[in-house]
Amino acid sequence: MEIQDGAELCFPELLNTSCRKPTPHRFDAVLLNIVMSSISVLTIVLNLLVIISVSYFRQLHTPTNILLLSLAVSDFFVGIVLLPGEIYLQTQCWFLGEVMCSLCNYVINIVLSASVGNMVLISIDRYVAICHPLHYPTRVNVTKAKLYVFLCWFCSVFCISIVFKDVLNQPSITNSCDGECVVVFSNITFVTDLVFSVIAPVIAIILLYMRVFVVAVSQARAMRSHTAAVTHQQSVTRSTRKSELKAARTLGVVVLVFLICFCPFYCVILAGANPYSVNLASIIYYMNSCLNPLIYALFYPWFRKAVKHIVTLQILQPGSCEVSML
């Protein structure tokens, strides 16, 4: 019996302090790992395509695409670092030490924070472009976009460093047993991080996109009224209505997917739900990094054209970076 108990421990020689080994042979654990592995691969591939497309083709070096590139980089790290780490913790004990555990969680939180920050920047970019179109060329350019991206990552590093200050100084304060990799914060730290990393960005994105939606719809209606005064062609009216519906649909998808992916995770955490609910919410949470390229890039014709050049290896031809993508 003692041998069997020892075999179930991460460190059999530490009977009093060792954690128990995970049970990856269970059906739900295997299914969870398969789903997370699929999301990880898809996230890496899709975001890598966005990174190569925007970085390589010069015509795609626009302010909006610079923000998309930064978002794709953060989501790429989610797929290549966070998801494999979660799969590892689901199937193995943590044998890399307390310091590495703290560092991994530190880097992961920086990436997630930068991802949310990038989405806020994209919201602001669309707000300025649609609500203040005449001022957009002067207020937003490639140089300023790069500066905003740098500030986004810098602020993420700075804020997460403050949150992780005690954890990085004393890595062992959060683990209840050997072989575990869990970071637990105080209630004040958790609430502060929740407000600034989730609630505030979500409110900002909703308010910005609501304003964008209202302005876009009003502009479409004004254009339809002006067109009706000049000509009575039904095709023009249908085209204007189609543009109005397309704007409403796209903005609705952007806001809805963001809320669907982010809110359930924090809701189940705050509610103290069971592990199954937490795992399900985590999958939805991680899927946001996989869906971002589809929402922000796949809807653009230039992305499909760029992917075709990448997949067919046409980018290896001399001067292919100058090919027209728009």
Tens place of pLDDT per residue across the chain (326 aa): 344 444 577 777 666 667 777 766 676 677 778 888 889 999 999 999 999 999 999 888 988 889 889 989 998 998 998 888 888 877 777 777 777 888 888 888 898 889 888 888 888 888 888 788 788 888 888 999 999 999 999 999 998 888 887 777 766 555 667 777 777 777 777 778 778 887 888 888 888 888 887 887 776 676 666 655 554 444 544 554 454 445 445 556 766 787 788 777 777 777 776 767 777 787 888 888 888 778 766 677 788 888 888 988 888 888 888 888 77
- State the Cα–Cα distance between residues 315 and 10, nearest whole angstrom: 49
> Ramachandran region of residue 117, left (φ > 0), alpha (ψ -120 to 50) or beta?
alpha
Predicted pLDDT at 296 = 64
In the prediction, which pLDDT does 2 show? 41
Give all domains of the chain, ordered by start, each with its CATH number.
Answer: 2-322 (1.20.1070.10)
pLDDT at residue 25 in the model: 63
What is the pLDDT at residue 243?
Answer: 47
pLDDT of residue 15: 65
